[in-house]
Amino acid sequence: MPNVRLVVEYCGEGFSGWQVQPDQRTVQGELHRALEMVTGEALALPVSAGRTDAGVSAKRQVVCCTLPRQDEALLRKIMVGVSSILKNEVSILRAEVVPEDFHPRYDALRKQYTYTIWNHPSPPALLYGRCKHVSAPLHVQAMQIQGESLLGEHDFTSFRGSRCGAKSPVRKLESFTVHHRGDEISLEFRGPGFLKQMVRNIVGTLLLYGADPKRTPSVKAILEARDRKMAGPTAEPWGLTLDWIEYKEGRL
Amino acid sequence: MPNVRLVVEYCGEGFSGWQVQPDQRTVQGELHRALEMVTGEALALPVSAGRTDAGVSAKRQVVCCTLPRQDEALLRKIMVGVSSILKNEVSILRAEVVPEDFHPRYDALRKQYTYTIWNHPSPPALLYGRCKHVSAPLHVQAMQIQGESLLGEHDFTSFRGSRCGAKSPVRKLESFTVHHRGDEISLEFRGPGFLKQMVRNIVGTLLLYGADPKRTPSVKAILEARDRKMAGPTAEPWGLTLDWIEYKEGRL
């Protein structure tokens, strides 16, 4: 039975995250339901490259599912049908048969996440529900300098979510870029993998330096302390978007 | 009584355009209602720099209203209160007292509009309701070349909406820029003023060349014909956003 890879876009607002949970509307659950409706078959749950938290959006999440038959017309039907069933809250941007041993999580080489902040006394209208609103002016340069001190391979225990199940707390932050256009600040994180809530915990910490650039200790010192209690709060999920995932054939 | 200038952001989705109409939810009507609630006074209708059509969004629309008294605390109350009353569909980004003779429309020097197209076989999830979806791949370069042929001052009768009340059909297109990032194409138009539906009529025409780059006659020939019937259809309003307006003191 063919292993089908989907590139999936979704808006986090209407979902309790990726992973299926009883009595919750989740992306995995809704996608599964829509795929079963389109194919007319009972299917196993689709598997994603990453289980985004409630409220987190994805521009190009990568998902695999096993379909009952190899059929180009069925792939096209999935691309059209899923968006329509899920009222454009989820869209399938690509659907293709991949080798049976392809796994969206284990084969991922690199991911990019962007965290969006609206920095203005008033809340946003167009970005509402898709960013974190910070009223007081942020020292963006301080956030950038502190964030850059995390580049490279480190033990990220200080920025690890309490329910993170990863074996090792060591991760590599390959790039960290700040984009500042008008009232919108976006923080872009790229690396081979991230711990649970690592990006949101880093953002929540960087925001403390955005409010007070002279704050001590530095983010580097917090990292080296390997103590979650020294870092800042977890930034709200609705500012976070999974941008893309890279595999050996390139970014999807 | 002070003339108060507001910079207003709104998402076009939930409104039947700017202008008050019986039994319709409009930005002007809702803003008027919210301003009366916050000030506790009967106020004249607010006046904007431009009457955006139903579905059109604005990042920085400029609006004036006459308030009963000059009061800094009231201005702050408006910034916080209007967003809250209008559930973040409208946000006041700036509120200040300006000279009595300032007029948001007559004093405007320049405006920028952006039209956003999602060019992918599947509809978008994150941009849904905020762009025009075009399934077939567009020849973006052809759209750019044809659009650039409209630069300068011309009689834009061919791209004028049927209910346009302007005295003269002559307008100046100062700049036209195409941004193409992944599946998103945005067309940016800048000039001292635009006729009713002019931007959407130009976009609807450029899309014909995006579909068929060898199409004849050229956009320049359509312009010179001064005949609305030769141009393309009016592109849907939900792709259009008013970005900013420039006055002698700069962009607001």
| pLDDT, tens only, B30-87 | 999 999 999 999 999 999 998 999 999 999 999 999 998 888 899 999 999 999 999 8
Q: Give me A54's structure tokens.
A: 């409630």
Start-end of CATH 3.30.70.580 domains in chain B: 3-98
List the one residue out of A146, A148, A239, A147 whose CA is nearest residue A185. Answer: A239
B195-233: per-residue pLDDT in tens?
999 999 999 999 999 999 999 999 999 999 999 999 999
pLDDT given for residue B70 in this prediction: 82
C-alpha B24/C-alpha B26 separation (Å) is: 6
- Which H or E element spans position B213? none
Q: Which CATH code fits A110-251?
A: 3.30.70.660
Start-end of CATH 3.30.70.660 domains in chain B: 110-251
C-alpha B223/C-alpha A85 separation (Å) is: 42
Alpha carbon separation from B205 to A66, A229, B149, B164 (Å, rounded)? 43, 58, 13, 18
For this structure, is A227 an active site residue?
Answer: no
**ipTM of this complex > 0.85?**
yes
Residues 6 or more apart in contact with residue B149 via CB below 8 angstroms = B218, B219, B220, B223
Instruction: Decide: B45 and B35 in contact? Cβ < 8 Å.
Output: no
DSSP state of B131: S
pLDDT given for residue A165 in this prediction: 86
C-alpha A68/C-alpha A75 separation (Å) is: 12
Q: Does pLDDT of B242 surpass 90? A: yes
A104-134: per-residue pLDDT in tens?
999 999 999 999 999 999 999 999 999 999 9
Where does residue A217 rank: exposed (0-12), middle (13-18), buried (19+ CB within 10 A)? exposed
C-alpha B138/C-alpha B91 separation (Å) is: 34
Is the Cβ pair A9, B88 closer than 8 Å? no
- Give contacts of A92 with chain B, Cβ < 8 Å: 122
Q: Does pLDDT of B90 surpass 90? A: yes
SS3 state at B195 = coil
Q: Give me B54's structure tokens.
A: 């139903």
List the one residue out of B53, B78, B30 whose CA is nearest residue B241. Answer: B53
Find the chain A residues whose C-beta atoms sit closer than 8 A to any C-beta of B: 9-11, 57, 59, 79-80, 83, 88-93, 120-126, 128-130, 183, 241
Distance from CA of A92 to the nearest CA of B (A): 7
| Percent of chain A clearing pLDDT 70 (strictly above) | 100
Residues 6 or more apart in contact with residue B181 via CB below 8 angstroms = none
3-state per-residue secondary structure call for chain A: CCEEEEEEEECHHHCCCCCCCCCCCCHHHHHHHHHHHHHCCCCCCCEECCCCCCCCEEEEEEEEEECCCCCHHHHHHHHHHHHHHCCCCEEEEEEEEECCCCCCCCCCCEEEEEEEEEECCCCCCCCCCCCEEECCCCCHHHHHHHHHCCCEEEECHHHCCCCCCCCCCEEEECEEEEEEECCEEEEEEEECCCCCCHHHHHHHHHHHHHHCCCCCCCHHHHHHHCCHHHCCCCCCHHHEEEEEEEECCEEC
Alpha carbon separation from A18 to A47, A189, A217, B196 (Å, rounded)? 10, 20, 35, 44
C-alpha A160/C-alpha B200 separation (Å) is: 48
Average confidence score pLDDT of chain A: 95
Average confidence score pLDDT of chain B: 95
B96-114: per-residue pLDDT in tens?
999 999 999 999 999 999 9
- Give contacts of B116 with chain A, Cβ < 8 Å: none
Using DSSP, how many helices (H) and how many strands (E) does chain B show? 5, 12
List the one residue out of A110, A113, A152, A112 whose CA is nearest residue A248. Answer: A110
Distance from CA of A238 to the nearest CA of B (A): 12
C-alpha B92/C-alpha A145 separation (Å) is: 32
SS3 state at B71 = coil
Q: Does pLDDT of A239 surpass 90? A: yes
Q: Does pLDDT of B163 surpass 90? A: no
The DSSP bridge pattern shows strands A250-251 and A240-247 to be: antiparallel
Residues 6 or more apart in contact with residue B52 via CB below 8 angstroms = B12, B17, B18, B27, B58, B61, B240, B242
pLDDT given for residue B219 in this prediction: 98
Measure CB to CB from residue B88 to each of A89, A92, A125 and give the nearest one: A125
The predicted model gives A224-235 an average pLDDT of 97
Q: Does pLDDT of A69 surpass 90? A: no
Distance from CA of A58 to the nearest CA of B (A): 8
A95-110: per-residue pLDDT in tens?
999 999 999 999 999 9
DSSP state of B231: S
CATH class of this structure's domain B3-98? alpha beta
Q: Does pLDDT of B131 surpass 90? A: yes
The predicted model gives A41-70 an average pLDDT of 94
pLDDT given for residue A157 in this prediction: 97
Beta bridge partners of B64: B5, B47
Altogether, the residues listed in chain A come to a count of 252
pLDDT given for residue A10 in this prediction: 97
DSSP state of B234: P
pLDDT given for residue A163 in this prediction: 86
Is the Cβ pair A83, B122 closer than 8 Å? yes
C-alpha B65/C-alpha B98 separation (Å) is: 10
Instruction: Decide: B171 and B195 in contact? Cβ < 8 Å.
Output: yes
Closest residue of chain B to A10, computed from CA coordinates: B125
Q: Does pLDDT of A17 surpass 90? A: yes
SS3 state at B221 = helix
pTM confidence score: 0.94
Closest residue of chain B to A77, computed from CA coordinates: B122
Place of tokens 């050996």: A248
The gap between the terminal CA atoms of chain B, to the nearest Å, is: 23
Is the Cβ pair A79, B122 closer than 8 Å? yes
Q: Does pLDDT of B162 surpass 90? A: no
**Cis-peptide into A192, omega within 30 deg:** no
pLDDT given for residue A167 in this prediction: 92
Measure CB to CB from residue A88 to each of B80, B121, B123 and give the nearest one: B123
Query: Which pLDDT band holds residue A162 (cuts at 50, 70, 90)?
Result: confident
Residues 6 or more apart in contact with residue A6 via CB below 8 angstroms = A46, A62, A63, A64, A65, A78, A92, A94, A95
